[in-house]
Structure 1
């Protein structure tokens, strides 16, 4: 048993070190992300399990030798390190990087997100009370191709149309499904009166870029025609997604009515009214925060775009959201974690800077201190705060839309910033 306790101590120490300083080398990046992701976003569960395992091992003779005591000596700082990540999560505020002011969108102090979900993550897979989920609605059918979505909404009350939200899952353009991502956000948005659409699209290597985007454009066209059947406003749709879904979110928002991405339905208006990309990739052509351009990776060259990067820069530029920055872009709320080991946080920073230089609409950037890639998959306290922020921001945009006001930072956000700048 002493060596079991030593192994537990070594492992918890390594997990804590990786959580605070994730590795980005080619060999370690994937395991570093995976274990850091689980450790940070499930910190309460990890601490409870480790405390129980350590106590049980010690009870059955784990301290009968130098190995056990060494393991205990490693366990204590390891658990303290993980507790520090939990403390950082509890202190999470959505920080506006350009002015250093917190975007505190929860003035009551306690998240409206259900507390039981924070302690029992699988609960997020269950629709919230009052939310109805209609699954596997076909939004595009072409021969044997059948693309489906899930609809999240409250029961209808009256004839008033509600705002729509499109959720795009991630997975590196090659994996992922509507049943796996965006569920905490869609559930919460539905409770607050939105109609959410969790959308599947074709995946590589079967699909070749830009087929992924074309599918999502088909959804926007479908939404314009069928939104009222689900109680949604066909003239108001926002889009969100994470990772590859963040890239596709930005592409959907910035390439409205681009004929090359709407073959056969070029005349359909595919404009959206707001975009919330989470930890996305926005520039496939320039290295910047990457050792080499994202487009030059085997994933893109062999499985997604399927063209050699060196001879096809134009193709990778056309697949990059930064290529389509424009003055009439919709409002953006960009979210990224400061400890993202898969997509460096500098990727989001440079995108936001360039978009702000061009767009007349508000561009908010939320950098989550201590957060890993895909942090919002788990309904942690951090996730609850971010979901609260996204809901309040998008609801503010919808309120402005109904009032006929040009999109701007919602009033409660602006007042929060002004109060804090005075303080």
Structure 2
């Protein structure tokens, strides 16, 4: 059975261009080499500066590479975004999502730090999430230097990046050292048990990120078979027993995405835990549909995301703008 008849017509053409690839230990290096990177033909953003930094990593681990985005057209203290790239925990880079981050920074006038966390299977859990925590620590403790408000830090990402964002929000809540104001999770990869379902959803996961890749990603991150009883919630956020006290959340997923049901369930549990949550399911959309930038469903999802972030940053921005006006 195929679900092609359910795909949004504007998203269908891309499926003919992307071959169905099975990820293995043997071909992972080659697939990484083929992964998209920042293009020299990307739009220019003259009001954003980008600097590469190497910040202290977790204890006993290497420094973490980050890209720091700062708006030059905004005065005063600004909110900030900690961005975690996607790639199934096994591939991807901060550079590959440069345009995504610049679009957000440009639209909202915030700063951003994009994290090049270490990848599995070379670095299994907890390495990747601890790299992200190190970035949060650096961002929070260097707020004055960076011109950001340490109480207005949002964390977000897509796919595995969304999974790491959800795990980082749990870790930050439980350690109680650095506050997060908001989390946005774009089709997050948060539940290894999806790999072991006896009756998987019959209409999800046919395209882009399929069950075989999902299994490989989770096995690589966990260093063991997915679906066991001893998986940490800081590896797979859906494993968390309690979601109370998490920051306000924006979460979306495509109706044909392999992660549909795990994301639906996480949103339900967030709401049951009293976490302010906005949740969207986009019809006809498979995993990674944002690659079709001009599709109406992609534009809608971008509008929803930016509106949610703008609301999350709103009080601080209004206060900052009032302060600027009073000193004018």
TM-score relative to the length of structure 2: 0.74
Q: Summarize deviations over 1:191-245 as a string: whole Å, max 9, x none.
A: 4211121111010111011111111000110011113322221221101111111
Question: What residue in structure 2 maps to residue 60 of structure 1?
Answer: none
Contact 1:166/1:238 (8 A) holds in 2: yes
Residue 282 of structure 2 corresponds to residue 297 of structure 1: no
Shift, 1:186, TM fit? 3.3
d(CA) in 1 for partners of 2:13 and 2:68? 28
Contact 2:48/2:102 (8 A) holds in 1: no
Shift, 1:137, TM fit? 1.2
Residue 113 of structure 2 corresponds to residue 197 of structure 1: yes
Q: Summarize deviations over 1:330-362 as a string: whole Å, max 9, x none.
A: 11110111122xx2422211111121111x231
Question: What residue in structure 2 maps to residue 356 of structure 1?
Answer: 271
Secondary structure of the 1:322 match is helix
Q: Summarize deviations over 1:156-205 as a string: whole Å, max 9, x none.
A: 543x2101011111111111100112623532333421112111101011
Residue 285 of structure 2 corresponds to residue 367 of structure 1: no
Q: Summarize deviations over 1:96-133 as a string: whole Å, max 9, x none.
A: xxxxxxxxxxxxxxxxxxxxxxxxx9688334242222
Secondary structure of the 1:389 match is helix
Q: CA RMSD in A?
A: 3.4
Aligned length: 283
d(CA) in 2 for partners of 1:227 and 1:127? 26
Question: What residue in structure 2 maps to residue 278 of structure 1?
Answer: 186
Question: What residue in structure 2 maps to residue 234 of structure 1?
Answer: 150
Question: What residue in structure 1 maps to residue 35 of structure 2?
Answer: none
TM-score relative to the length of structure 1: 0.59
User: For 1:93-242, what aligned pairs fall within 5 Å after superposition?
Assistant: 125-134=42-51, 136-141=52-57, 145-155=62-72, 157-158=74-75, 160-181=76-97, 183-242=99-158
Question: What residue in structure 2 maps to residue 387 of structure 1?
Answer: 302
d(CA) in 1 for partners of 2:251 and 2:55? 27
Question: What residue in structure 1 maps to residue 163 of structure 2?
Answer: 247
Question: What residue in structure 1 maps to residue 14 of structure 2?
Answer: 38
Q: Which has the larger radius of gyration?
A: 1
Contact 2:55/2:66 (8 A) holds in 1: yes
The structure-2 alpha-carbon separation of the partners of 1:143 and 1:296, relative to structure 1 and needing over 3 Å to count, comes to closer
Shift, 1:143, TM fit? 7.2
Contact 1:137/1:150 (8 A) holds in 2: yes
Contact 1:253/1:329 (8 A) holds in 2: yes
d(CA) in 1 for partners of 2:67 and 2:84? 11
d(CA) in 1 for partners of 2:190 and 2:244? 17
